[in-house]
C-alpha cells in the first residue's frame, strides 16, 4: 500500500490523544512509508471540532503537511450524490452524506480508506470502495 485516506473518525481519536487501536494505527501509518491523504471535507470536519484557537492552529499546521485530494467541486457533488442514491436503491441508508463525499474522493484517487465509521463498510457492498481494518 502506497497511500491511505484517513477518515475524520480516526483523526478525532488521534487529536484527542485517545489510546485506541485506531489512534495507534494512525500513528504507525504516519511513521511508516505510507502516504496519508486527506480531503477538503475531512479537513473541515476535523478543524471545526476544535474549541481552542491554539489546538485549531496546531492541527491545521499538522494536517497541511499531508497531501490533499483535489477535485472539481461539481464533479465531487454529483459523484457523491450518485453514491448516496445507489446505496438507497440497494436498501442501504447512509447516515451522513459527507461519508459519500469522502468515499467518492477515495474511489477517485484509488485509495483505501482507514475509518471508524460503519457507513464506509456499508458502501463497500455496492461500490469499489476499499477499506482498511485493524
pLDDT digits (tens, 9 = 90+) for 20-72: 999 999 999 999 989 999 999 999 999 999 999 999 999 999 999 999 999 99
What is the pTM assigned to this prediction? 0.93
Longest Cα–Cα distance of the chain, Å, equals 44
Does residue 2 surpass a pLDDT of 80? Answer: no
Q: What is the pLDDT of residue 86?
A: 95
Name the pLDDT band for 119 (thresholds 50, 70, 90): very high
Class of domain 3-132 (CATH, top level):
alpha beta
Burial grade of 22 (CB within 10 A; 0-12, 13-18, 19 or more): buried
Q: Are 129 and 103 in contact (CB under 8 A)?
A: yes
CB within 8 A of 92, min separation 6: which ones? 122, 123, 125, 126
Q: What is the pLDDT of residue 90?
A: 93
Q: What is the pLDDT of residue 43?
A: 97
pLDDT digits (tens, 9 = 90+) for 83-111: 999 999 999 999 999 999 999 999 999 99
The 131-132 sheet, strands edge to edge: 35-37, 3-6, 113-114, 131-132
Q: What is the pLDDT of residue 4?
A: 97
**Using CA atoms, how far apart are residues 112 and 98, in angstroms rounded to an integer?**
17
In the structure grid, which three cell numbers stand for residue 57, read together? 492552529
- In the chain, where the domains are located: 3-132
CA angle 125, 13, 22 (to 5 degrees): 55
Amino acid at each position: 500500500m502506497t497511500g491511505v485516506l484517513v477518515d475524520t473518525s480516526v483523526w478525532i481519536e488521534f487529536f484527542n490523544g485517545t489510546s485506541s487501536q485506531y489512534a495507534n494505527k494512525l500513528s504507525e501509518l504516519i511513521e511508516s512509508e505510507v502516504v496519508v491523504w486527506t480531503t477538503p471535507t475531512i479537513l473541515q470536519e476535523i478543524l471545526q471540532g476544535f474549541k481552542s484557537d491554539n489546538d485549531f492552529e496546531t492541527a491545521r499546521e499538522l494536517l497541511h503537511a499531508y497531501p490533499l485530494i483535489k477535485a472539481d467541486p461539481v464533479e465531487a457533488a454529483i459523484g457523491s450524490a450518485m453514491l448516496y442514491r445507489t446505496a438507497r436503491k440497494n436498501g442501504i441508508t447512509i447516515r451522513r452524506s459527507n461519508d459519500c463525499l469522502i468515499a467518492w474522493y477515495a474511489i477517485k484517487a484509488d485509495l483505501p480508506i482507514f475509518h471508524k465509521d460503519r457507513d464506509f463498510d456499508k458502501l463497500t457492498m455496492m461500490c469499489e470502495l476499499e477499506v482498511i481494518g485493524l
